[in-house]
Structure 1
Amino acid sequence: MDTDPAALLRVYDDQLRTDAETPGAVSVERRGPLRLATFPGGRGFVSYRDLGGADAATVRAWVGEALEHFRADPAVVDVEWKTRGHDVAPGLHEALLAHGFVPGEVESVMMGPAAGLAVEVPLPDGVTLRRVTGEAEVRRMSAAADEAFGDPVSTRRADDLLFRLARDPDMELWVAEADGLVVSSGRLEPVPGTEVAGVWGGATLPAYRGRGIYRALTAVRARSALRLGKTVLHSDSTEYSRPILERSGLVRVTTTTPYEWTR
């Protein structure tokens, strides 16, 4: 499998910056190159393959139109505009700020061969891995992830996960447990019609970090990806998870920064 960053970036742009980004959306509308998706629980999302060489004035107009689209739906309470570091997007940062969007943490877009992560990783004593599917287990997993990220427990995020799981039976949710407590979690999202599967939502409680649990959780998802015929893994990674993925052969192909608007 090619690990050349430029080749992997082409896979990312061509295979993933499509409707593959919004499989759980209840609606998707197009405005020029923009894909405006609405998810359960009142979450809006903006993405695109590229901006087609638009100038700053056009980009600013698109930001305003996209925001008005979501403002018109009172059920939408927040919107994420997903930017990428390699895009040609004149004036986008300024336009987003002017319309009330707040930039979040810069993450690394990591890609590489699944085989590099599909290894046996020893777990600490008392820690086990398993796949979860039932509603109560999914809500427990989601609450633990919220805690790991330092966020309030959100029933909205759990509802979104359950909605997506019902629509996509190939999506897998995995947890690591210790003494009945969910200490780490993550999901695998095979992308239909592509060679790619996403590894998402990796979250480990602070007291359990640095013990190989996240790496083991990634490895079990990589093995599942290969069983499903997906040879490339993709993840948007924080600076905590990026080194773990790099050691397993994934490379950074670009960066991504979410800009958030809240009603």
Structure 2
Amino acid sequence: MGRVVITGSSGIVGSAVAAELHASGWTVLGWDARPGRWTDHVGDLRDPALRARALAGADAVVHAAALHAPHVGRVPDEDFRSVNVEATAALLDQAVRCGVRRFVYTSSTSVYGHALVPRDRAVWVDETLDPLPRDIYDETKLAAETLVRAHEALSPVVLRIARCFPEPRPIRAAHRLHRGVDPRDVAQAHRMAVDRAGVDGVFTIAGPVVFTRSDVEELWRDAAAVLGRRAPELVAVFERNGWPVPERIDRVYDSSAATAKLGYRPVHGAASVAAA
């Protein structure tokens, strides 16, 4: 174990990651523009003095802070570049100067962009799918990924996390079937990425999936039939709660690479939304 700095530590993802790493024995120091339970340094990611102070003595960095998709159109594109790209570059340089051994970057499945649009079948989304950014958020997250991966001395890992923000329970449950993830599973993935220093690369992080790649055509035509065959117990959960069973599924996020290389095993799927 050691000392880990987490940017974005007051957010949904950052705070979940902080709690997970603290529970596993890491000394956690959080950094965010807003105060929070896990936030020790409050200030702008672009502040060089704060950056040097925050990373001093760090063994690992989890970089979750960013401007996100809801900010698109509300803040200038230059701010996206400044926060998501330039500040990431500065953080990486500081990490090298401070002797950080591990850098985990929290990216998003949103970087796949236009590649997520189905034609005659659901899109199977894993690391082999080429990203096609569609807005400034996607562009800057992908640009930051490139910067992170170039810093080989930091043994970098990029985690492209699926949808995990608060939504009404029926929508959240439906998304957990194929394109969502619980923050607790996201936190698990980050802990494993921090701990497994011998593994680097890019990984898609989503919830448990009951589908296979052979289902993609039928998922686009009749998702309810596939669900009834693959996971009748989940159909029963939806029916008990009065939630509509999806008739069509447009994409499936596959985390099998993270399972194979990081040991990631998501457990909080659609049923856990009902149980919450």
- Scaled by the length of structure 1, the TM-score of the pair is 0.31
Tell me which protein shows more helix as a share of its residues.
Answer: 2
Higher relative contact order (CA 8 A, sep 6+): 1
Tell me which protein shows more strand as a share of its residues.
Answer: 1
- Scaled by the length of structure 2, the TM-score of the pair is 0.30
